[in-house]
Amino acid sequence: MTRRLKRLLVAGAAGFIGSNFVRHLRRTHPDVEITVLDKLTYAGNLANLAELDGQPGYRFVHGDICDEKLVDSLAAETDAIVNFAAETHVDRSLMDPFAFVETDVRGTAVLCEAARKHGHEVFLLISTDEVYGDVRTGRSTETDPLKPRSPYSASKAGGEHIAQAYAESFGLPLLVTRGSNNYGPHQYPEKLIPVLITNAIDDRPLPLYNDGSAVRDYVFVEDHCRAIDQVLHEAPVGNVYNIGTGVETSGLQVAEAVLAIMGKPKSLIEFVADRPGHDYRYALDISRITALGWETQVELGEGLERTVRWYVDHPDWWRPLKSGEYWEYYRRNYRPLVT
């Protein structure tokens, strides 16, 4: 099946994945009219969407997904919603959980209500593999129970539950994607890979929690965006899709790969105090998304090289972000490892 969408509301697209997705969609579906709604939190950045400014069929609205009136008016002018808007960083969720509950749960409910009221064709919620919790053995399938362990993942699971309740109770045409760890251009330098790269550029220590052994599935953001595009246009409503590469990599392996690409010494690695409640492993069963015909195109080695090159070439993008509040957060977050 191919769904022909005409007017799309994309929430949270001034951030990392959303902005990559909107740029991707302009290439694959240039006829779709796109309205971006974004609050421009510390993680939202209009520079991420600058190349779309002034293009016909694109508009940016500065606002909050929790603003019922605004969301209702935008839903009245569109046929479908893709929701990227969220508080997204686990470490920050340990410092300020309520902001996560507000946006990731209540904000999702506000979007669902507007989509229901205006009879939208599809509501795609961008969720995360973190909703499965720490997975020490095996791989998570889409029917596994949700066992989130951080305020971030619990809020994302809460958003999923609200959306599922709208699907069950009111027939909301819901799709959910659960993506693994994204990396690539335009990622705010608080997540592991951009922290490692931007610190290495400045010969600063590369902080790894505990012993750097926690495992993630790192997916290049453009691969994730292709999968989201495919789910949005081809998947039957009512389905959930895991999106990842199926490859497991530790933080230490990522740090060593980044340093090798950059020609910097391993002595820059610094083991620091662990994240409280750290999930040590996520691992996805990706058979459902591959059955749609999607596959990884950019392996981690190539993706890291492209990402390092992008940060080296764009200090004007990330240097202004690493100032003021950023360093306050950084000092609060990173503590010495006590052995």
Active site residues: 129-130, 152
Q: How far is the CB of 46 from ligand DAU (least distance, A)?
A: 21
The residues facing 271 across adjacent strands are 208
Per CB under 6 A, the list member of 65, 135, 176, 240 interacting with ligand NAD is: 65
Q: How far is the CB of 106 from ligand NAD (least distance, A)?
A: 9
* Residue 311 CB contacts under 8 Å (≥ 6 apart), including other chains: 185, 194, 197, 198, 201, 318
336 vs 52: CA distance, rounded Å: 43
The contact pattern for ligand NAD, residues 205-244, with x = CB under 6 A and - = no contact, is: ----------------------------------------
* Torsion sign, CA atoms 272, 268, 220, 8: positive
233 vs 228: CA distance, rounded Å: 9
The contact pattern for ligand DAU, residues 211-250, with x = CB under 6 A and - = no contact, is: -x-x-x----------------------------------
As given in the structure block, the two tokens for residue 36 are 């971006």
Per CB under 6 A, the list member of 20, 45, 83, 88 interacting with ligand DAU is: 88
Q: How far is the CB of 212 from ligand DAU (least distance, A)?
A: 6
Of residues 184 and 207, the one with the C-beta less far from ligand DAU = 207
17 vs 323: CA distance, rounded Å: 22
Residue 304 as a binder of ligand NAD (CB under 6 A): the answer is: no
Size of residue set near ligand NAD by CB under 6 A: 31
Select the binding partner of residue 123 from ligand DAU, ligand NAD, none (C-beta < 5 to 8 A, by kind). none
Residue 172 as a binder of ligand NAD (CB under 6 A): the answer is: no
Alpha-helical segments (H) within the chain: 16-28, 68-76, 90-95, 97-100, 108-117, 151-170, 192-201, 221-234, 251-262, 287-291, 300-313, 315-318, 325-333
- DSSP letter at 15? S
Residue ranges that bind ligand DAU, judged by CB under 6 A: 88-90, 128-130, 180-181, 191-192, 195, 207-209, 212, 214, 216, 251, 275, 282
